[in-house]
C-alpha cells in the first residue's frame, strides 16, 4: 500500500509514480492526498479522474482545498502537520502504508514528514522529492563530439556499445533508438524501472524522483535521466542488488 502527498505542482512526479505503480503492481493500492487552492486550479484534474475511473477500488483520492468552501472541514485548509494528524485520527491509518511519497512546497513537505513519523511511519519508508529545489537538473558538462559519445551498456551478461546524439539524449533513449531491449516504464525519473549501475566513468542525472542516497552512493542511476560526464562510461542493467 502506497501513500502520496502533494500540493500544487508537486503532483507532477506523483502522478507518474501513481500511474506506473498501479499499472505494474496489480495488487497495489494508492492513496493520494492532494492540496490546491480550488478545484478549478487543480493540475492534472482530468488525468486523476481518468486514473480513478480505471482503478476505482485501488486508488483513493482525497482533495483538500484552501480557498473553497466544503461540507467537510477535514477537506478544507492546507496540508500541514495538523491536517495530517486530523486525517490520521478520523480517516486514515497511516501505519498501514508501506511507502509514502511527498512533493510540494518545502514547508509542507517538512510538516508532512514530521507528521507521518509521529503517526507511526518509519523514516526509511518516507520519500521526499524537492521538486522546486535549485540545482536538481544537471546539464552535461563535457563537449559531445559531432559523431556522438559512446557508452557501453551491459545487459544479460553482454556488452553493447551505443552512440548518443549531441543534443543531451539520455542513455536509455539512445539505447532504445539503437534497438536495445532495456527495462523502462515512465521515462520521467520516478519509477526506477530503468535503474542501472555505473561501473566506469561518471554520469549525472537531470532529475531523480526515486533513488535513495544509499543507491546513489553505490553508483546506481536512472538511465532515462542519465547523461555521461566522461568519455568512457559503462553501465550495468544486470546489477539490481539494491531494491
pLDDT in tens, 27-79: 999 999 999 989 888 888 888 999 999 999 999 999 999 988 777 889 999 99
Do both 12 and 102 map to the same domain? Answer: yes
pLDDT tens digits, one per residue of 95-131 = 999 999 999 888 899 999 999 999 999 999 999 876 5
Provide the b/e sequence for 200-213 (b: ≥16 CB within 10 Å): eeebbbbbbbbbee
In which domain, by residue range, is 93 found?
2-129
Distance (Å, whole) CA 12 – CA 190 = 10
Query: How many angstroms separate the CA atoms of 170 and 221, rounded?
Result: 12
Residue 232 lies in a domain: yes
Q: Among candidates 147, 192, 143, which has minimal Cα distance to 168? A: 143
Q: What is the mean pLDDT of residues 131-153?
A: 56
For range 84-105, the mean pLDDT: 94
In a domain, 101, yes or no: yes
Q: What is the DSSP string of 178-234?
A: TT-----S-SSSSS-TTEEEEEES-EEES--SS--HHHHHTTEEETTTEEESSS-EE
Query: Nine-digit cell at 173?
Result: 533513449
Residues 120 and 224 grouped into a single domain: no
pLDDT tens digits, residue range 192-239?
789 999 999 999 998 887 788 888 999 999 999 999 988 889 999 999
| Residues 94 and 194 reside in one and the same domain | no
Residue 122 in domain:
yes
pLDDT value of residue 167: 65
- Is pLDDT at 241 greater than 70 in this prediction? no
Q: pTM of the entire structure?
A: 0.60
Do 162 and 151 contact (CB within 8 A), yes or no?
yes
Tell whether 195 and 120 lie within a shared domain.
Answer: no
The pLDDT of residue 14 is above 50: yes
pLDDT tops 90 at residue 191 = no
User: Do 112 and 176 sit in the same domain of this protein?
Assistant: no
**Residue 106 is part of a domain; what is its CATH number?**
3.40.50.80
Q: Is residue 135 part of a domain?
A: no
Q: How many residues does the chain have?
A: 243
Question: Which residues partner with 60 through β-bridges?
Answer: 31
Domain of 186, CATH number, reads: 3.10.20.30
69 and 173 together in one domain: no
Same-domain pairing of 30 and 103:
yes
Number of domains in the chain: 2
Whether residue 139 is predicted with pLDDT greater than 60 in this model: the reply is: no
Long-range contacts of 150-153 (CB under 8 A, 24+ apart): 150/231, 151/228, 151/233, 151/234, 151/235, 152/200, 152/233, 152/234, 152/235, 153/180, 153/182, 153/196, 153/235, 153/237
* Judgement on whether residues 31 and 71 belong to the same structural domain of the protein: yes
Read off the pLDDT band of 145 (50, 70, 90). Answer: very low
Amino acid at each position: 500500500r502506497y501513500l502520496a502527498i502533494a500540493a500544487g505542482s508537486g503532483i507532477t512526479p506523483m502522478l507518474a509514480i501513481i500511474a506506473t505503480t498501479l499499472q505494474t503492481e496489480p495488487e497495489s493500492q494508492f492513496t493520494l492526498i492532494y492540496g490546491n487552492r480550488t478545484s478549478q486550479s487543480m493540475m492534472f484534474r482530468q488525468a486523476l479522474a481518468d486514473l480513478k475511473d480505471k482503478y476505482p477500488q485501488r486508488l483513493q483520492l482525497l482533495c483538500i482545498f484552501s480557498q473553497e468552501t466544503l461540507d467537510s472541514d477535514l477537506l478544507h485548509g492546507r496540508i500541514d502537520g495538523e491536517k495530517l494528524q486530523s486525517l490520521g485520527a478520523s480517516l486514515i491509518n497511516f501505519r498501514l502504508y508501506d511507502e509514502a511519497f511527498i512533493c510540494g512546497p518545502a514547508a509542507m513537505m517538512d510538516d508532512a514528514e514530521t507528521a507521518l513519523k509521529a503517526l507511526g511511519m518509519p523514516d526509511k519508508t518516507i520519500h521526499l522529492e524537492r521538486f522546486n529545489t535549485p540545482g536538481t537538473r544537471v546539464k552535461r558538462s563535457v563537449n559531445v563530439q559531432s559523431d556522438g559519445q559512446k557508452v557501453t551498456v551491459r545487459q544479460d551478461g553482454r556488452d553493447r556499445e551505443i552512440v548518443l546524439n549531441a543534443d543531451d539524449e539520455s542513455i536509455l533513449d539512445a539505447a532504445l533508438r539503437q534497438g536495445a531491449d532495456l527495462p523502462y516504464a515512465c521515462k520521467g525519473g520516478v519509477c526506477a524501472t530503468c535503474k542501472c549501475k555505473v561501473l566506469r566513468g561518471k554520469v549525472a542525472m537531470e532529475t531523480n524522483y526515486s533513488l535513495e542516497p544509499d543507491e546513489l552512493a553505490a553508483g546506481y542511476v536512472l538511465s532515462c535521466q542519465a547523461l555521461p560526464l566522461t568519455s568512457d562510461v559503462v553501465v550495468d542493467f544486470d546489477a539490481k542488488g539494491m531494491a
